[in-house]
Amino acid sequence: MGPIGLEEIKHNVVPCFDMKGEVVEVIPFGSGHINDTLRVTCKEEDGSVNRYILQRMNHEIFKNPAQLMENVVHVTAFLRDQIQAAGGDVNRETLNVIQTRDQANFMSDENGDYWRTYLCIENAVSYDLVESAEDFYKSAVAFGQFQRKLAEYPAATLYETIPNFHNTVDRFAKFKQALEEDICGRAKDVQEEIQFVLEREAFCHLICDALDKGELPLRVTHNDTKLNNVMFDDKTGEVLCVVDLDTVMPGSALYDYGDSIRFGATTGAEDEQDLELVNFDLELFEAFTKGYVEGCGGSLTEKEIRMMPVGAKMMTLECGMRFLTDHLQNDVYFKIHRENHNLDRCRTQFKLVADMEARWDEMAAVVEKYI
Ligand code: ADP
Ligand code: GN1
Ligand code: MG
């Protein structure tokens, strides 16, 4: 996808959506690795301000934007009914799709780019780093509740927006293929990281095998539960909304649980270059575990809870492997902002995996408390 031109968007894309008022500002927004996100501010004649989140969907990653938007529209409608029944605020507690002026859920432009718009959740923030155990705990409750709210969702009607998204065995195979192809000759410089993955091939099977055998239940999960996909009220500090619904698909609760741990139960940022600053944090691990079990409201099975350390390590290893694969493939998947950015990200993930392995018994003891 090409670079983004704000003026062009203002004139060619924004007017296609049913936004209220005159456009006064269009600015880049957020720090997601996949879509291009903008915030559009409009002013009405009476002075009231309306804000929207406009996104250029990454259609190299999400091959079928129409199916993806169908998922999002159906899932958000389902959530909206529950929020309404509970007397909540439907404008702030779920994403709301703003249609185009001809009532479509997204549009494509002459460059072949796909666009969609959400109502901007007002007076809300998301965090790129865990600032307190309390916030992390709250995000855990929110992700647990999110999964619980979707427990009755007709899973068979959901499109798989990225096939095999958290199939770690498949991720391993794709990593090996990228290694064999080594299209930009980077493999020679990352031998230590490559060995780290190869030594853990057997581990990659644990969740896939348990799902195949029916030992773990398939649920409707979010699949991308990093902390910056949760919006907090900027005044009360309470969680308002889970965003980034592009990967809502059938999956394991361990994916949601584990992905949050990999991003949040650490003392360093995902792309920290000084690995001494990146340590697995057992206190944050426990805060999240407690919140997630509570948020799921007793719906997790004993096996799911026992396997939580596996989920945490699996999602961390898988993500590191995905960053390394992208580094070997010349950075075509995750957005990068500097040289070797994906390699830096890979290294933090592997540092966390190594820490988890060293503290495995302590992790097992923590989750045991919540069975
Ligand atoms: P990506 O897939 O690239 O991660 P996201 O959908 O997560 O894109 O959006 C990027 C960021 O934009 C989020 O982390 C969040 O901070 C912010 N954001 C997304 N949707 C909204 C919304 N409806 N209202 C306010 N902020 C939002
Ligand atoms: C991407 O979209 P975003 O930035 O919330 C990625 C996740 C990774 C994460 C790593 C669709 O999440 O799977 O875990 O980056 N999303 C997709 O930070 O691939
Ligand atoms: Mg995101």
20 lies in the same domain as 147: no
Residue 1 has pLDDT above 80, yes or no: no
CA 70 to chain centre: 19
What would the mean pLDDT of 26-35 be, rounded to a whole number? Answer: 94
Q: Which ligand is nearest to the CA of 333?
A: 2
110 lies in the same domain as 148: no
Residue 269: per-residue pLDDT: 97
- Give the distance (Å) from ligand 2 centre to CA of residue 85: 32
| Ligand 2 site, residue 34, Cβ cutoff 6 A | yes
Alpha carbon distance 100, 36 (integer Å): 18
Instruction: Confirm whether 147 is domain-assigned.
Output: yes
- Give the distance (Å) from ligand 1 centre to CA of residue 316: 22
Residue 5: per-residue pLDDT: 83
Instruction: Confirm whether 128 is domain-assigned.
Output: no
110 lies in the same domain as 208: no
| CATH number for position 34 | 3.30.200.20
| Ligand 1 site, residue 126, Cβ cutoff 6 A | yes
Q: What is the pLDDT of residues 173-189, one digit of tens each?
A: 999 999 999 999 999 99
Residue 3: per-residue pLDDT: 75
184 lies in the same domain as 306: yes
**Residue where a domain stops, chosen among 122, 153, 176:** 122
180 lies in the same domain as 329: yes
pLDDT confidence tier of residue 2, bands split at 50, 70 and 90: confident
Degrees, nearest 5: CA angle 291-355-167: 70
Degrees, nearest 5: CA angle 104-93-141: 130
Query: Which residue is closest in CA terms to ligand 2's atom 18?
Result: 33
Split into its structural domains, the chain has a count of 2
85 lies in the same domain as 170: no
Q: What is the pLDDT of residues 260-313, one digit of tens each?
A: 999 999 999 999 999 999 999 999 999 999 999 999 999 999 999 999 999 999
Q: What is the pLDDT of residues 247-263, one digit of tens each?
A: 999 999 999 999 999 99
Residue 43 and residue 21 in contact, taking contact as beta carbons nearer than 8 Å: yes
Instruction: Confirm whether 106 is domain-assigned.
Output: yes
95 lies in the same domain as 143: no
Instruction: Confirm whether 127 is domain-assigned.
Output: no
Q: What is the pLDDT of residues 299-355, one digit of tens each?
A: 999 999 999 999 999 999 999 999 999 999 999 999 999 999 999 999 999 999 999
Instruction: Confirm whether 326 is domain-assigned.
Output: yes
Domain range for 343 is 133-368
| CATH number for position 338 | 3.90.1200.10
Instruction: Confirm whether 278 is domain-assigned.
Output: yes
Among the residue ranges 2-16, 58-72, 297-311, 331-345, the one predicted with the least confidence is 2-16
183 lies in the same domain as 102: no
Q: Which residues surround ligand 3, an ion (CB under 5 A)?
A: 32, 229, 244
Task: Copy the structure tokens of residue 25.
Answer: 């500002």
Residue 4 has pLDDT above 80, yes or no: no
Ligand 1 atom showing the smallest separation from residue 35 Cα: 3
Alpha carbon distance 40, 57 (integer Å): 16
What would the mean pLDDT of 39-49 be, rounded to a whole number? Answer: 97
Residue 125: per-residue pLDDT: 97
**Residue where a domain stops, chosen among 122, 155, 173:** 122
Instruction: Confirm whether 305 is domain-assigned.
Output: yes
361 lies in the same domain as 279: yes
> Which residue among 33, 39, 53 is best mutated to probe the pocket of ligand 1, counting the most ligand atoms within 8 A of its Cβ?
53
pLDDT confidence tier of residue 161, bands split at 50, 70 and 90: very high
107-111: long-range contacts at Cβ-Cβ below 8 A with a sequence spacing of 24 or more? 107/13, 107/16, 107/17, 108/65, 109/12, 109/13, 110/12, 111/2
107 lies in the same domain as 199: no
- Phi/psi for 350 (5° steps) reads -70, -30
Residue 29 and residue 11 in contact, taking contact as beta carbons nearer than 8 Å: no
Beta partners for residue 276, in sequence order: none
305 lies in the same domain as 351: yes
Instruction: Confirm whether 1 is domain-assigned.
Output: no
pTM value is 0.97
Q: How confident is the prediction for the chain on average, in pLDDT?
A: 97
- Give the distance (Å) from ligand 1 centre to CA of residue 179: 32
What would the mean pLDDT of 76-82 be, rounded to a whole number? Answer: 97
114 lies in the same domain as 178: no
**Residue where a domain stops, chosen among 122, 147, 165:** 122
Residue 63: per-residue pLDDT: 95
